[in-house]
Each structure stands twice: as C-alpha cells, then as structure tokens.
C-alpha cells in the first residue's frame, strides 16, 4: 500500500509538471495495479508450495533411506548427485512459467546439496572436519543466491554461515571450557544485524528475508545466549577437569562474534551502522550480567541488573523502530518487554507466594499488562504513521 501511494504521488507530480496527461496517468496506474495483482502470491498457494516442498523432500528422503543399503557406493554417489541435479533442473524448467514453484524447486536443490555433501562423506569414509561440510553447504547456498537472487537462497545462506562458525567454534573448543559468553554475544548481535538491514524503503528479497529471520530469531537467541553465559564457568575442579580455553582462541572468538555482525551491518547500513555498535555494547553488557548472575545465583542485585538490561533493550528496540519507522522492531520491542516482565515474575515472585495468590497475581499481570502494552503499541504505531 505504501508503494502504491508513493507511485500515485509521483504520477500526480508528473501531471502537474505537464509531463503526462490525465489519460496517460490512468493507464500507468491501471498497468501497475494489474502487475501488482498478478505478482502477488496468495497465501493458499504459498502454503501449498511450502507443504508440497516439505512432503516431496520427505518422500525422497524416505525412498533413499529404504533402498540405501541395497545400493553400491557408486550408485549411492550417483543418486545423491541426481537429487541435486533434478531439483535444480525442475527450478530452471519452471522459471518462466511459475516463479514461486521455481523458487521452491531451487530451494529443495540447495537443501539436497547439504544431504549430498554429508552422504558423500559417509560413502567414501571421509574423516574430515564435519564443520567443513557445513561450510561447503553455505558456499553452495551463497552461489545459489548470487545466481538466482531469491529469498530462499538468501535465507539458507544467512542460516548456514553462522551455523558453520558455531560448528568450527565447537570443534576448536572441544575438551575445554570458557568462551560461551562470546558465543552468546555473537548469536544476539547477528540477529540484531539481520533485523536492521532494511533502511527506508529498501525492499529487496535478501533484506526482507534477513529482517524476517532477525525478527524471529532475536528473542530465542537472547534466551539461548543468557542461558549459556550463565553456565560459562566450569564448576568442577579436580582430576579429569577440562582445561580452560587458551587466550588466543578466546580472542579470535570475540573478534569474530563482534566483528562479523558489525562488518555486515556496515556493508548493509553504511553510516547508520553506528546504532549496531551501540547494540554490540548492550549485548556484551547483557551477557556479562548473565554470566555474573550464573556465578551468584543467590545475589538479587545480579538478577535485577540482568532484567534491567533486558528492559533497556526492549525500550531500545521500540525507540529504534520509531526512529527508522520500522513496525517489526517496535512490535518486537513490546513483545520483549512483556517476556522480560513475565520471566522476572516467575524468577523472583512466583515461588515466594502461595499457589492461588501467585496465579491470581499472574492473571492480573497478564490482563492489565497486556492491555497497557497493546494500547501503548497502538499509540506508538499511530505516531510512526503520522511521522511517515
């Protein structure tokens, strides 16, 4: 709707400047409306393609698993290559007729590439670093996006690159402890970076996909980061205890956890990436507070500091959404504030009251808090629309 309004505004300026007449104006608007209607994928079709792709992948997997033991190594290798080729060939054949189906088939082809990489390693007994397989898969997805420029390839690349980095980190630190705080910072900061890639009216497939991934992943990544930071200390001291991670590996982990998301933020946001630097500082403070709270489980001040930082981050998301006029950040900030309040209640008050009193208070908190948050969200959205 916003793009439609912007087009109408431009056309009106062209009419006022005498560049086009009223009839041409009507033809332009009618043509663009027709293109928009034909280019929009209705949700039943989207669901059919999504479920169809999942069922097709499941069927192929079941078929291969059923006959896997009966095949020779050469036949197995030919089969895994054939899966990738057939799916991508289907995407090429349907590209000019049904773009959404072509996108689905190419997505299945890239997914089959991952299976082909790991099955090939199994067929030929390749005892290499398993994270290298994730890297090869990520490279394949990146090549797919470079050629196709569709959202599925962008999503797979955005997920597989962090998965490869995490895999390498887990292998490099196997048998030692420490560094979980840096891993938590990297998870949260990557989600924040994905969330922030859209600036202004940028609507490319890659940016929309990254923003969606960031919106869905930020709260779970924050929860995972807090949980692993709380455990970022090996409590067993004695014979057989693992060694602490060496300083060089830890420094490299921090450099990648902070530097990689900020580099992507600068590439996608340029001068506006200074806000991501502020978020990096907040993320570090949050994970350090979680680590301190994990060491001092009975210290109320540590927990209060942790939840205070969660509240500050929630308010920061709302302010960020208002500043850059992004509804998803505003809505996510409101949701994060509600989740922080609920966790604070369960962590500090639920066990200190009777069962009935705690349930009554929780019900009142949910009803009153939900109403207040929804009213606040609507007022903020109205203010954002007025500023647009």
Max Cα distance, the chain (Å) = 87
pLDDT of 42 strictly over 60? no
Given this model, what pLDDT does residue 237 score? 47
CB 51 within 8 A of CB 43: no
Q: What percent of the chain has pLDDT over 90?
A: 30
* pTM of the predicted structure, to 2 decimals: 0.81
Average pLDDT, the chain: 81
The region of weakest confidence among 39-43, 179-183, 215-219, 265-269 is: 39-43
Three-state DSSP class for 176?
strand
The region of weakest confidence among 233-237, 268-272, 290-294 is: 233-237
Domain positions in the chain are 1-40, 298-388
CA distance 46 to 151: 13
pLDDT tens digits, residue range 272-286?
899 999 999 999 999
Given this model, what pLDDT does residue 235 score? 47
CA distance 149 to 269: 19
- Which residue has better confidence, 268 or 27? 268
CB 291 within 8 A of CB 232: yes
pLDDT tens digits, residue range 95-114?
877 778 888 889 989 998 98
Highest-pLDDT range among 236-240, 251-255, 295-299, 355-359: 251-255
**pLDDT band with cut points at 50, 70 and 90 for residue 236:** very low
pLDDT of 136 strictly over 60? yes
Q: What percent of the chain has pLDDT over 70?
A: 82
């Amino acid at each position: 709707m916003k793009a439609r309004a912007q087009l109408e505004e431009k056309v009106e300026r062209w009419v006022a400047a005498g560049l086009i007449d009223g009839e041409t104006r009507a033809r332009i608007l009618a043509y663009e409306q027709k293109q928009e209607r034909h280019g929009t994928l209705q949700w039943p079709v989207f669901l059919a393609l999504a479920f169809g792709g999942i069922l097709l992948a499941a069927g192929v997997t079941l078929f291969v698993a059923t006959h896997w033991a009966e095949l020779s190594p050469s036949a197995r290798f030919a089969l895994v290559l054939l899966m990738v080729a057939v799916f991508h060939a289907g995407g090429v054949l349907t590209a000019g007729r049904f773009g959404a189906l072509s996108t689905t088939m190419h997505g299945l082809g890239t997914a089959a590439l991952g299976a082909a990489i790991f099955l090939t390693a199994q067929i030929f007994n390749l005892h290499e670093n398993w994270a290298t397989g994730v890297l090869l898969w990520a490279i394949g997805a990146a090549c797919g996006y470079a050629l196709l420029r569709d959202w599925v390839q962008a999503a797979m690349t955005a997920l597989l690159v962090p998965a490869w980095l995490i895999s390498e980190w887990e292998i490099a630190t196997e048998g030692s402890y420490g560094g979980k705080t840096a891993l938590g910072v990297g998870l949260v900061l990557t989600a924040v970076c994905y969330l922030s890639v859209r600036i202004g009216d940028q609507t490319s497939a890659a940016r929309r996909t990254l923003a969606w991934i960031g919106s869905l992943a930020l709260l779970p990544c924050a929860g995972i980061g807090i949980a692993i930071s709380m455990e970022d200390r090996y409590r067993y001291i004695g014979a057989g205890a693992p060694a602490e991670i060496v300083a060089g590996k830890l420094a490299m982990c921090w450099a990648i956890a902070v530097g990689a998301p900020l580099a992507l933020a600068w590439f996608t946001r340029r001068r506006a990436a200074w806000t991501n630097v502020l978020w990096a500082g907040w993320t570090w403070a949050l994970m350090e507070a979680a680590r301190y709270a994990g060491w001092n489980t009975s210290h109320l001040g540590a927990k209060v500091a942790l939840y205070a930082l969660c509240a500050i981050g929630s308010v920061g998301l709302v302010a960020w959404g208002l500043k850059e006029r992004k509804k998803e950040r505003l809505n996510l900030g409101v949701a994060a504030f509600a989740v922080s309040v609920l966790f604070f209640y369960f962590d500090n008050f639920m066990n200190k009251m009777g069962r009935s009193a705690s349930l009554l208070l929780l019900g009142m908190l949910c009803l009153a808090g939900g109403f207040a948050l929804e009213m606040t969200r609507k007022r903020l959205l109205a203010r954002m629309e007025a500023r647009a």
